Amino acid sequence: MIPISDEETRPNQAPLLTYLLIAANVVVFFLATDADIHAYALRAGDLLAGQDLITAFTSLFLHGGFFHLLFNVWSLWIFGDNVEDDLGWLGYLLLYLAAGVAGNLAFALLASPSEMAIGASGAISGVMGAYLILHPRNRVLTLVPLGFWITTMRINAPIFIGIWFLLQFAGLAGSAQDGIAYSAHVGGFLAGLALAKLLPKKNLAA
């Protein structure tokens, strides 16, 4: 399933921080060299040893390929504006970064010490977790493949995000090595759920 857009109560203000986060991820993707990625990626063993802790943040803005970047910023575009409007820019930034770090910590705990992680997936998973808590009545317009046909469906946000989470959990439980940090997705998502409950709300319309 590929999300196209959400049916939402329009934010009261332009989601400037969401735009800035998307821009930052895009700019870093096109400017970062292989040496930058090697220097600023998260290494599981280093994080658990308390070394190069800054990479828990810098790795959130690095991506391994165009589609990796595209899927992340597209998901942030769809779900981020509502969450930013609910929490205000400061709460939203705190959630984004904290969920990203939580995802990186989950990755480090379950990965071998030499494994590396990059990408905003943990942070954006946290945004999706917050969206689930804050906008459970919204629906997500989704591309759904049905055999040789592809159709669109409007799926309730809890169902769409619930299916997505189950797929991440299944990937984490499986043994396939497909280069996806499922543990970071699960950790970031759970952090987003908790933070959406704990952080003060600025607006909450749906």
Give the span between the Cα atoms of 169 and 181, in whole angstroms.
11
pLDDT category of residue 60 using cuts at 50, 70 and 90:
very high
Q: Mean pLDDT, to the nearest integer, of 183-189?
A: 96
CB 144 within 8 A of CB 1: yes
Strands (E), 10-97: 42-43
pLDDT for 196 beyond 90? yes
For the cut 60, the answer to whether the pLDDT of residue 206 exceeds it is no
185 falls in which pLDDT band (50, 70, 90)?
A: very high
Q: What does pTM read for this prediction?
A: 0.92
Do 118 and 62 meet the contact criterion of CB atoms below 8 Å apart?
yes
Residue type, 188: G
149 or 127: whose pLDDT is higher? 127
CA 9 and chain centroid, separation: 21
With a CB cutoff of 8 Å and minimum separation 6, the contacts of 47 are 53, 55, 56, 104, 105, 108
pLDDT band, residue 108 (cuts 50/70/90): very high
Per the prediction, the chain carries an average pLDDT of 91
Selection from 16, 160, 197, 47 nearest residue 112 by Cα: 47
What's the pLDDT score for residue 109? 95
- pLDDT, residue 90, reads 96
Q: Of 160, 181, 152, give the one whose Cα is nearest residue 72.
A: 181
For the segment(s) 2-198, the CATH number from 2.40.50.140, 1.20.1540.10, 2.40.50.100, 1.10.390.10 is 1.20.1540.10
**What's the token pair of residue 85?**
């409007």
What would the pLDDT profile of 82-102 be if each residue is shown by its tens digit?
999 999 999 999 999 999 999
176 vs 115: which has the higher pLDDT:
115
Q: Is the pLDDT of residue 23 over 80?
A: yes
Residue whose entry in the numeric block shows the structure tokens 């589609």: 67
**Average pLDDT of span 19-43:** 96
Rounded Cα distance between 19 and 31, Å, is 18
Stretch among 18-27, 44-53, 138-147, 169-178 having the lowest mean pLDDT: 169-178
Query: Residue 176 pLDDT > 60, yes or no?
Result: no
Give 61-74 pLDDT, tens digit per residue.
999 899 999 999 99
User: How much of the chain is helix, strand and coil, in % rounded to 5?
Assistant: 60, 15, 25
**Amino acid occupying residue 159:** I
More confident residue, 147 or 30: 30
Mean pLDDT of 32-44: 95
